[in-house]
Amino acid sequence: MMRKSEYALWALLVLAVLAAGSTIVSLARSQSASAANSEIYRQLDLFGEVLERVRSDYVEKPEDPKLIEAAINGMLTALDPHSAYLNPKHFRDMQVQTRGEFGGLGIEVTMENGVVKVVSPIEDTPAAKAGLMSGDFITALDKEQIQGLTLQEAVEKMRGPVNSPITLTIVRKGVEDPFEVKVVRDVIHINPVKYNAEGDDVGYIRVTTFNEQTTANLQKAIDDLKKELGPKLKGYIVDLRNNPGGLLDQAISVSDAFLDQGAIVLTRGRNLEETQRSNARPGDLTDGAKMVVLINGGSASASEIVAGALQDHHRATIVGTRSFGKGSVQTIIPLGSNGALRLTTARYYTPSGRSIQAKGIEPEVVVEEELPDDLKQKADVEGARGEANLRGHLKGEGEDEDGAAHSEEESGSSSYVPPEKEKDTQLKFALDLLRGIKSVDTEAKKKAEAN
């Protein structure tokens, strides 16, 4: 047994060694950080040299802001397909989309033969009140021809401050000469939720995007369908097909609307301590009614969060085809007057811990839509497109070191949905499930026998 004086001496020696080791580790870390900083500054010197060469020697005088913006975007797109720089204009556009309201006319449009075609005026908007009709062609805005503009450019010209007027030149079938219509812009609300009763027993809810209005509009849809169908209500179809996603908090609150408890989504950043878990609060707005969720290759991001949460909790039957497979979270980082940075900061996982990245959500019942002949040929050539097919995508768990996805991890599928409901095979199947005409077990047995 050591005496106290000897013990104290040894303790001092041990502490001295530990302190020396700590100093060495700190010094090594400091040197490593210094070397890393030195290398990044060397690379910045290289960038500066290339920039000056381009500015002085390029065949035409380039615009400096465009050069810098392109360089920033080049850096971000090298990270993954979803990180990007948003210049001030694009940042404002993004804010308009997520708010779900803007100053405009209230028409859904497309481009046809170089002019804007009205798909449909939105009810109770300036366009509808001015008498615009589906099938109208808009050939000029304030007497300036649309020919030569992109659809996005034309849409931007039609948007503007509330109460400001714009004159549209309209060509209408059955009317011999073009005519002008003056429309005064108003606040237009983008309704991300459309709904109706299918027969007298099923509520159909289509969620087209996840903006700031989605959860409130979903609640209204459920309330209205409950009142309309009453005790005959057998369940709900939530259609997330071709929904590209949107706000994470809206995906969480939409999932929460159908769940009483449990996790909704897990998000994990670079460090383990950055893991966050979002949980459902008590209260299912549908009172536990049966649910079918429709997904396809166009269902991505927030749509996959909702489908994955309801699937893991066995709250809904997922029908359709494999979703897109975008399992990453982008954070918008404002840069003052210089726009914003959209940066991938985390991956998300379903309540059971499944990663969706480059995999997607696989339905319990796979139902393919019959493609028209022209789309069949295109599909044969191009194949299904999903996250796993995007150049530079984040590796999904289980991918090869070179980034190649294993066959079971491939994401995406057809995103075709027939415009006529009577030809919509996936919707028909969902209705049959809720009405008890078909069952998941029967379909699984048929599939096993076919294999």
Q: Which residues are catalytic?
A: 301, 312, 326
Whole-number Å distance between alpha carbons of 157 and 141: 8
Tokens matching residue 252: 């969480």
Query: How many other C-beta atoms lie within 10 A of the C-beta of residue 118?
Result: 21
Given a contact cutoff of 8 angstroms between Cβ atoms, the answer to whether 403 and 88 are in contact is: no
| Closest listed residue to residue 163, CA positions, set 103, 203, 221, 121 | 103
Burial class (CB in 10 A: 0-12, 13-18, 19+), 31: exposed
Tokens matching residue 320: 């359709």
Whole-angstrom CA distances from 113 to 117, 139, 151, 316 are 9, 10, 11, 43
Reduce the DSSP state of residue 375 to 3 states and report it. helix
Whole-number Å distance between alpha carbons of 86 and 244: 19
3-state secondary structure 151-169: HHHHHHHHCCCCCCEEEEE
In the sheet with 317-320, reading across from the earlier edge strand, the strands are 193-198, 202-207, 235-239, 290-295, 317-320, 365-366
Q: What share of the chain is helix, strand, coil (3-state, %, to 5)?
A: 40, 25, 35
Tokens matching residue 269: 């950043």
| Closest listed residue to residue 65, CA positions, set 75, 77, 55 | 55
Cα–Cα–Cα angle for 319, 321, 322, rounded to 5 degrees = 115
Given a contact cutoff of 8 angstroms between Cβ atoms, the answer to whether 319 and 365 are in contact is: yes
